[in-house]
Structure 1
Amino acid sequence: MNNYTTEKIIRISKIALMAYISFFGLLVMYSNFTDYTTNYEYVAHVLSMDTTNNNERTTYRAITSPMLHHRIYWLIITLEVTYTVYCLVGTYHLYRKLHASACEFHEAKKFSIMGLLIGLFIYYVCLQVVGVEWFDMDRSQTWNAKDWARHIVDFMLPLLMYIALKIER
């Protein structure tokens, strides 16, 4: 342990945290591909707004077309695959530059930062903003992922800040 400086441990922690969020992305991708029907059903219910308070002032927002449900779900899957690939590539680039100069290590963060931004788009913009604010997902007792998405954002946003900070010397 004496061979590890604080700087080295910080770099290792950034690589490890990116590996953790990449692993999460892989599990989400696996779930989407192996259990398409269940996850599709979730998306369809949220978009249809069929389990929220049927308020005429908001139900005009509902999307009831199964074709659009599938297309929107595939868009979400595509974004999740993209986020995961960027995070995996970012983790690899950080690992490759573990022993490089501070400038090279900092430049290796590009893919990680892009992956985390895409992840924040999915879990904050798509689920928390659009899902909750537009489709009233939080009013559903059955099809509500607001808290689940918030927990992911609560990990990703500080991780993005930590990764982006140039604290290595």
Structure 2
Amino acid sequence: MNSLSTDKLIRYSKILLMAYFSIFGLLVIYSNFTDYPSNYEYVGHILSMDTTQHNVNISHRAITSPMLHHRIYWVIITLEVLFTSFCLLGTYQLYRKVNASAEIFHEAKKISIIGLLIAIFIYYVCLQVIGVEWFDMDTSQNWNAKDWARHIVDFAFPLMIYIAIRIER
């Protein structure tokens, strides 16, 4: 343990945290492909606004077309595959460069940061901003992913900051 410097421990912690988030992404993708109907139903209810508090001022925002529900859900799945792929590749790049100079290790962070940015787009912009503010998702008793998405952003955003900061020597 004496040969493990703080600098090396920080580098390994960044690799491990990216691996943890990559595992989350893999589980999300697995769930989307093995339980497509349940997850599609979730997306359909949010877009249809059929379980939210009826508000005539915003009910025109609802998307009720099942075809559009499928297409939007596939966009979400595609983005989740992208974020997971970037996070996995970013984890690998960090691992490959763990013993490199500080500059080279720092440059290896790019792919991880892209993956985390895509994840934040999905769970913050798509779910928390559009889902809550446009489709009124937070008023649904059964189909409300606001808190779930917030927990993911609460991990991904600080992780992105931690990965991006240059504290390794």
Shorter chain as denominator, the TM-score bin is: over 0.9
In the TM superposition, 1:78-97 aligns within 5 A as: 78-97=78-97
Deviations 1:53-109 (A, max 9, x none): 111111100000000000000000000000000000000000000111000100000
* Structure 1 portions without partners, runs of 5+: none
Deviations 1:108-165 (A, max 9, x none): 0010000000000000000000000000000000000100000000000000000000
Whole-angstrom distance in 2 between the partners of 1:105 and 1:55: 52
Whole-angstrom distance in 1 between the partners of 2:53 and 2:17: 40
Tell me which residue corresponds to 1:101: 101
Percent identity over the alignment is 73
Residue 73 of structure 1 aligns to a residue in which SS? helix
Tell me which residue corresponds to 1:29: 29
Deviations 1:12-40 (A, max 9, x none): 00000000000000000000000000000
Whole-angstrom distance in 1 between the partners of 2:28 and 2:165: 27
Whole-angstrom distance in 2 between the partners of 1:3 and 1:30: 39
Residues 1:75 and 2:75 are matched in the alignment: yes
Aligned pair count reads: 169
Whole-angstrom distance in 2 between the partners of 1:21 and 1:163: 12
Root mean square deviation of aligned Cα:
0.3
In the TM superposition, 1:102-121 aligns within 5 A as: 102-121=102-121
TM-score, normalising length: structure 2: 1.00
Whole-angstrom distance in 2 between the partners of 1:32 and 1:148: 16
Paired amino acid for 1:53:
Q
Tell me which residue corresponds to 2:142: 142
Tell me which residue corresponds to 2:38: 38
